[in-house]
Amino acid sequence: MGEWSKRRKRFKQIFGSAPQELTTYEKDLETLRNIRNSVAHSFGRDIEKSRSRNQTDILEIQRISLKTLQKYMSVIRTVAKSIDEQLLSNHIGDYEAIFYYHEIKKLFQLTIM
């Protein structure tokens, strides 16, 4: 929650380090966060202007080009992949093998009884 600089800092606190992509693409991520908030909170319109009670005109919706959308989709893919790689390499173990062991152990205990 909050600005991407704070999110990166919190990620570092939890996982010890953060992927370089969180710093490299911080400006783009912040722009995306603002676009998302604009859409979510004021249907794509300027948040501050849409809060005005005496607003009678329909405010123009923020638009982005296809090229910009593709750029942001690439940023999202790159950042998500870097986070996945860090978590997989440093924090996610071979849970399937452990799960399988416990399932076999349950079966073994049932056959002994």
Domain map (residue ranges) of the chain: 4-112
Q: Is the pLDDT of residue 110 over 80?
A: no
Please provide the average confidence, as pLDDT, over all residues in the chain: 83
**What letters, b where the CB count within 10 A reaches 16 and e where it falls short, cover 24-58?**
ebbebbebbeeeeebeeebebbeeeeeeeeeeeee
- pLDDT in the model for residue 52: 61
Tracing tokens 């004021």 back to the chain, one arrives at 42
User: Distances from the Cα of 21 to the Cαs of 2, 57, 68, in angstroms?
Assistant: 18, 41, 19
Residue 91 clears pLDDT 70, i.e. is over it: yes
Given a cut of 60, is residue 99 above it in pLDDT? yes
Q: Which token pair is 50?
A: 């849409």
